[in-house]
Structure 1
Amino acid sequence: MVQDENHLLIYLQAVNSQACCPECQQNSHRIHSRYTRSPSDLPCFGQKTQLILQVRRFVCINQSCKRKIFTERFNDLIQPHARTTIRLSKVQQQIGLLLGGEPGKKLSSFIGMSCSADTLLRRIRASSRPDDSSVRVLGVDDWAMRRGQRYGTILCDLEKRQVIDLLPDRTSNTLAGWLDSHPGVEIISRDRGGEYAKGAAQGAPQAIQVADRWHLLKNARETLQKVIDRHQKQVHESVKLIAERESQLSSNQPLDSMQPSNSSTPPNTENISRNKKRMMYEQICELHKSGMSIRKIASQLRVGRRTVRRYLRADAFPERAKRSGPSCLDPYLDELKSMWESGVTRATVLWKRLKELGFKGSYSVVNRKVAFWRKKLQTSGDGKSILHNAQLVPQPSSMCLSWLLWKSIDELARNEKKLVKELLQTPMIFQATQLIHEFQTFIQQQNSGGWDNWLERACSENAPIDIRRFGKSLKRDEEAVKAAMESIWSNGQVEGQVNRLKMVKRQMYGRASFDLLRARFLNNA
């Protein structure tokens, strides 16, 4: 053994007097020649370690053997033609699986076994895949290689709770081909995509298909949102009625109980944006009445077809909810109010005084608050303060209203309860909410009792059109939907594996090919 400042050299040679021919497996003691190999090994005391290995060549004594001369093997130490020991290769492989190419290269250099990023990637590709021969309960879901453009399929063994394979696309033929090579699948949990249903029926017709419960509930909530989109007039009237009631109740409300909107956009900018969207809504309605198709409307106005459909589905302009949340001004409201009441009403002066007290917000935050107070309070001729008859309840978005209707009435705040009760006075919204809540109960309690009756009511002509469409889509996939209500299996853990796959994909900076991503993900499960 020789040691210098940067390297540790270890000299080794075999002690056996004979070696086994790798071709005919016969021992030979006839030495032909010797040569030296210099493989790298694991670092020792932080220093790079290199073996100086003296290797012998032997003459095969078997006359019928094709190989006349062979080299002695060190199977526990190093592979033939390799430049690193087996244990160093395994460590490099694990570093590559955990960190990838460039990050793994930096770590390897730091701990004394420097190698290139390409070497680590070769180690990943050479790793062996886990055995996926026996799968009984299979979870299937898609994942984005590049969102909106290319997608793949992830397959999980739900019993063993591990990933078993990644497929390069999400077509039915690819899934069916994989199932053909794995004939033991009995249960397939999947989302409601038609390609997966078709592929599962082709590749494993004997398997029970289970629709994912989370996707079923998501589709139900989105259906409720579509119903609200169609009844915007009733929503406007309900919100206006609630606003008038709140305005009457708060006519004697003190100044500090009135809170402005915490939107970061000034009111005039919000109005401009709203007016643009309203003009867009009116243009879409006019073009649709003239007979123009949705595709042509979207192309002419340069908006998405989904936006055109949403506007056409609504019977009035769909308002957007304003952002709300805590403000950096909240801890200083008492000081601001006292200064306001003492006669200091200029926002610039108030902002400078608050900064002296430690306020770190911008001038616009204070200006919005002061502007709100000026708008709400007006001094009359006799010196009394009166309130404008302004709307105190903001217009919620369709998504926000769908969540309010989705929840139990006991989970809502006081103003939310009033709004929900007012909305439920509309027959179509009431009927849709009732049917969606019943469907929600089927999924959450995993009980399909009364399902046939519910499906008949949902598909009847008296039901809202969006509920009918939802019911018909469930009817086309009825066996999988009923299995979701009765089976213990679902795609929850598959979604978790997709989340882990996203993390691995982003660690590889988006430049890795599918085979490398697949090898790294499957061997790092």
Structure 2
Amino acid sequence: MSVSELLGVVFPHLLDLRIEKVSAAGRSVRIRATTHDRAVACPTCGFASRRVHSRYERRLSDLMVGGRETVIHLRVRRLFCGNEHCARATFVEQVAGLTIRHGRRSVGLGRMLERIALALGGRAGARLTSHVAVDVSRMTLLRLVRALPDPPAGVVRVLGVDDFALRRGHVYGTVLVDIESGRPVDVLDDRTAGTLTTWLREHPGVEIVCRDRAGAYAEGARLGAPQALQVADRWHVWNNLATAVERTVARHRACLRPPEDATSAIDAPTGAPPPASTTAPGVMRTDRIAVRTRERYAAVHRLRGKGLGVRAIVAELGLAKGTVRRFVRASGVDELLTNDGTGRRPSLLEEFKPYLHRRWTAGCTNATLLFEEIKARGYRGRYQIVRDYLRPFRTGAPVHEPTPPAPKVRRVASWIMSNPRNMTNDDQRRLDEILTRSPELIALAGHVRSFATMMCDLRGERLEEWTAAVENDDLPALHSFVTGLRRDQDAVTAGLTLPWNSGRVEGHVNRIKMIKRQMYGRANPDLLRKRILLAD
């Protein structure tokens, strides 16, 4: 490869110029060039002209070469327009791929700065450009982003809709995604039905709308695109079912603990009953959260008894709507206190108590030796804790194996919602033991398995049959779930039948969170919108 060919590969944007001189000056490379004496078309009327009005020199920053900033001193011509009917008397020639009107950077450098600004934002982008391109300020990068045009929306056939937080709990926006191509189409300033309706009317052609269970989006899609088929996302439906399952398990949490008579006593030559390691089921919780929960439950149901609705109770007590709704639906305050360990930190010795019982029953009564043994197994507490725990053992009474703590409600709900093929043998065994103690939980697990099969196989036509089976059992939480499905049954049936879902939209919501963290929450919505729509 000759030198001229090499220069054509490295500097393809300089091929149409006459290079006069290349020199190194400090940390920069200076290139002096002029344009050729060719006819140039007028940018207004297209008339080709070679009549020179004047010449002047432009200074352009270009991409780095060998770690040095490149500066092009380009001498260009100002030409007369020979068309007497043209409104432009003179114009300056532009070099394709190198210059733009009033630009002080080459086209290639400008594109690089735009890509860096879209990917990293202002401060981080400015730190990077000083090493790979040219020193620019963060405000310069932000101006470049704001000056970029929005991508054309085009005709979107399958539209995904979801909200994202501008300020969590206070201000939300809406992101619209083309499900087929995976690209974001637009960003709306709020998540109201009216805004979505307006956008859909301005962009006809939407045939399918993928959304979550939010009522505002359902109403906006119905009014803005009545011909479109609404598809409720399967993950959101499954998440709603998980909430109902957790409430049902909490209602029957007494069945999570093994019966008392299942604990066997083992006589030892020298032993005594240890102190109970868990709180008895009948003991009422008195921690701060439990007291506050009882007070709120009493206040909510007192106002409910007076005929007040959920919104009125929210205004009266200053609680969140979801909290009031959960208190209203609960059959009792015990259903809300599902975490028996709230306010109590477990002992450091808790997981080693069964081992201490086995060793004591085997005849090892030396507290120091037992302390060394459990310390080798990972115990991080003091010797005095072990000594005080073993002291009651020496009274001569039979030693009882400690009752294992009951699994948490959320843990049992996750077992019921899990695929049996993905569960460990121990988890499956513990779940089977719990199910044998509660016919209601057996029925619950059966309904969950049926729903999972229907969802994975895309057999949405079975939804009506499934809801009828649920209503025949005494499972109030699932009845509430079915009531919600019936209010949105067409969209849920479509979600359980068609392959479309909101997965790509959720991916963009996750990307928006990353962009917001890069911007430290300090950028205006217009800049966030540009980065959402244009960043790769």
TM-score (norm. length: structure 2) = 0.78
Matched, 1:386 2:399: yes
Structure-1 separation of matches of 2:311 and 2:83: 79
Measure how far apart 1:351 and its partner are.
8.2
Structure-2 separation of matches of 1:217 and 1:284: 29
Measure how far apart 1:69 and its partner are.
2.9
- Alignment correspondent of 1:423: 438
TM-aligned CA distance change 1:288 to 1:215, over 3 Å:
closer
Structure-1 separation of matches of 2:500 and 2:267: 56
Alignment partner of 2:99: what SS? Answer: coil
- Alignment correspondent of 2:291: 279
- Alignment correspondent of 1:206: 227
Structure-2 separation of matches of 1:442 and 1:121: 49
TM-aligned CA distance change 1:470 to 1:250, over 3 Å:
farther
Matched, 1:247 2:263: yes
- Alignment correspondent of 1:46: 67
Structure-1 separation of matches of 2:27 and 2:349: 57
Measure how far apart 1:284 and its partner are.
3.7
Structure-2 separation of matches of 1:328 and 1:72: 83
Alignment partner of 2:520: what SS? Answer: coil
The answer for unaligned runs of 5 or more in structure 1 is none
The answer for unaligned runs of 5 or more in structure 2 is 1-21
Matched, 1:320 2:339: yes
Alignment partner of 1:217: what SS? Answer: helix
TM-aligned CA distance change 1:409 to 1:85, over 3 Å:
closer
Alignment partner of 2:111: what SS? Answer: helix
Once the two structures are superposed, residues 324-382 of structure 1 have per-residue CA deviations (whole angstroms, 9 ceiling, x without a partner) of 99x99999x999x99994734499xx58996xx897x8546x766666x538x62223x
Most deviating of 85-94 and 289-298: 289-298
Matched, 1:15 2:1: no
Matched, 1:99 2:120: yes
- Alignment correspondent of 1:444: 456
Structure-2 separation of matches of 1:199 and 1:344: 70
- Alignment correspondent of 1:455: 467
1:343 to 366, 378, 382: 366
Structure-2 separation of matches of 1:114 and 1:483: 54
Instruction: Tell me the matched-pair count.
Output: 491
Once the two structures are superposed, residues 466-508 of structure 1 have per-residue CA deviations (whole angstroms, 9 ceiling, x without a partner) of 3333222211211111111211111122212221221122112
Matched, 1:56 2:77: yes
Measure how far apart 1:191 and its partner are.
0.8
Structure-1 separation of matches of 2:82 and 2:477: 84
- Assess if the C-alpha contact under 8 Å between 2:267 and 2:398 holds in 1: no
- Assess if the C-alpha contact under 8 Å between 1:379 and 1:385 holds in 2: no
Alignment partner of 1:378: what SS? Answer: helix
Provide the identity percentage.
Answer: 30
- Assess if the C-alpha contact under 8 Å between 2:460 and 2:495 holds in 1: no
- Alignment correspondent of 2:140: 119
**Aligned letter for 1:319?**
T
Measure how far apart 1:197 and its partner are.
0.9
TM-aligned CA distance change 1:79 to 1:154, over 3 Å:
same
Matched, 1:396 2:414: no
- Alignment correspondent of 1:156: 177
TM-aligned CA distance change 1:135 to 1:510, over 3 Å:
same
Matched, 1:510 2:521: yes
Structure-2 separation of matches of 1:465 and 1:51: 76
Measure how far apart 1:113 and its partner are.
1.2
TM-aligned CA distance change 1:402 to 1:247, over 3 Å:
same
Once the two structures are superposed, residues 208-231 of structure 1 have per-residue CA deviations (whole angstroms, 9 ceiling, x without a partner) of 1111111111111211222344x3
TM-score (norm. length: structure 1) = 0.80
- CA-based RMSD of the aligned residues comes to 4.1
Alignment partner of 1:36: what SS? Answer: strand
